[in-house]
Amino acid sequence: MSRRDIEFTSEGTTLRGWFYPADNANGKLPTVVMAHGFSAVKEMYLDRYAEHFAANGLNVLVHDNKSFGDSDGLPRQEIDPWLQVRGYRDAITYACTMEETDPSRIGVWGSSFSGGHAIVLGAIDSRVKAVVSQVPLINGYENLRALVRPDFIDGLRASFDEDRLNRFRGEEPVMVPVVDEDPLASSALPTPDSYEWFTKTGETRAPNWRNEVTQRSLEYLSEYIPESFIDKVSPTPLLLMPAENDVLAPTRFAIAAYEKAFEPKKMIILPGGHFDAYVDAFELSSGEALAWFQNQL
C-alpha cells in the first residue's frame, strides 16, 4: 500500500496528513476526503479505512484537524467545528489540484464529530458528490444535555463564561480531560466506552493523541447543530450509519434526523456502540462506505 505525507494551507495554518492513491490505477479517479472526530487523530483507525478504500479503486486524502496531531494551529487541542469544516473544504481544494484526482468525483467521509461535518459539507459545498456520515454528532446542543446531568448545566455554563473572561484578559485557556476512568468526573466525553477506546487506541496506535481539550471546545460543541443542514444535503447522496446502542452520540438523534433528509439517502444501523464502528464492526462500516462511494462516484 503506497502512501505519502501531504500538507496544505488552511486559513494560514498548515494541515498535514496522508494521501493514498488508488491501487494499480491509471488516470484521474474519485477521491475521498477524511478527518477524525472529537480530539481524535488520523492514526486512530483512519488509516484502515483509507487502505480499504484505496485497495478498491478510490484515492483517499486523510488530514488531522487544525490544532491536533501533525497539523499546526493554536491554541492546541481546541475544537472549533466551523474551522474544521473549512479545513475539510481546503482539503478538497488541495485534492482537486492532484493529478490523480477527478475534481468532479469528490466524496467526504466523517465519523462522530466529523460525521456532523460530513453532513454540513454535503449541504454547503457543491463539489461534494457523495457523503458518508458514521456514528455522527447530530445536535451538539441536545447531545451535551444527554451527557451532562441537568443540575450540572448551570455550573458548566458559568465556567464557559469565566473562561471567556479570563481569555479576554490574556490568560491561558482552561483545559479539560477528553476522558476519565470515572464517568462522574469532569471530562468532555464522560462515558465508559469513551475512556476505554481513547486510552487503549492512544496507547496502541496513536501516541501523539493527548487527553485534553480546551474548555471552549465544549462550548463550541453545544452551539454546533449539523442536523439543521441535513435536509439540504439532497440531491447529494447521503449514507448515514448510526450505531444501534450509541450512548455518546445517541442513536435516536441520528434516526430522527435521517427522517428529515431527502433522497437519495440510505441508513445502515451498525451493531454495538459508538466505537465499535472502528473495530468490531469495521468490515461492515468500511464495506458499506466503500460500496456507497463506488456506486455514487
Q: What is the mean pLDDT of residues 57-72?
A: 98
Residue 173 lies in a domain: no
According to DSSP, the residues that pair with 267 across neighbouring strands are 240
Q: What is the pLDDT of residues 232-255, one digit of tens each?
A: 999 999 999 999 999 999 999 999
The model's pLDDT over 172-222, given as tens digits with 9 standing for 90+, comes to 999 999 999 998 888 999 999 999 999 999 999 999 999 999 999 999 999
Q: Does residue 182 fall inside a structural domain?
A: no
Is the pLDDT assigned to residue 1 strictly greater than 80? no
Whether 21 is covered by a domain: the verdict is yes
E strands, the chain, in order = 4-10, 13-20, 29-34, 59-63, 101-111, 128-134, 175-176, 213-214, 238-241, 265-267
112: alpha, beta or left? (left if phi > 0; alpha if psi -120 to 50): left
Q: Is residue 205 part of a domain?
A: no
Q: How does pLDDT run across 88-98, given as a tens digit for each residue?
A: 999 999 999 99
| Structural domain that includes position 56 | 4-140+225-296
Treating both helix axes as pointing N-terminal to C-terminal, what angle do 46-54 and 282-296 enclose, rounded to 10 degrees?
50
Residue 150 domain-assigned? Answer: no
∠285-133-255 over CA atoms, to 5°? 95
User: Is residue 25 scored above 90 in pLDDT?
Assistant: no
Find how far residue 245's CA is from the centre of its chain. Answer: 19
Does residue 174 lie in a domain region? no
Check residue 184 and give its pLDDT.
84
Q: What would the pLDDT profile of 267-280 be if each residue is shown by its tens digit?
A: 999 999 999 999 99
pLDDT at 52 over 70: yes
The pTM (predicted TM-score) of the whole model is: 0.96
Distance CA 121, CA 236 (A): 10
- Judged on CB neighbours under 10 Å (0-12, 13-18, 19+), 210 is middle
Grid coordinates representing 237?
Answer: 447522496
Round the average pLDDT of the chain to a whole number and report it. Answer: 96
Please indicate, yes or no, if residue 201 is contained in any of the structural domains.
no
Q: Look at residue 82 and tell me if it is in a domain.
A: yes
Domain count, the chain: 1
CATH number at residue 256: 3.40.50.1820
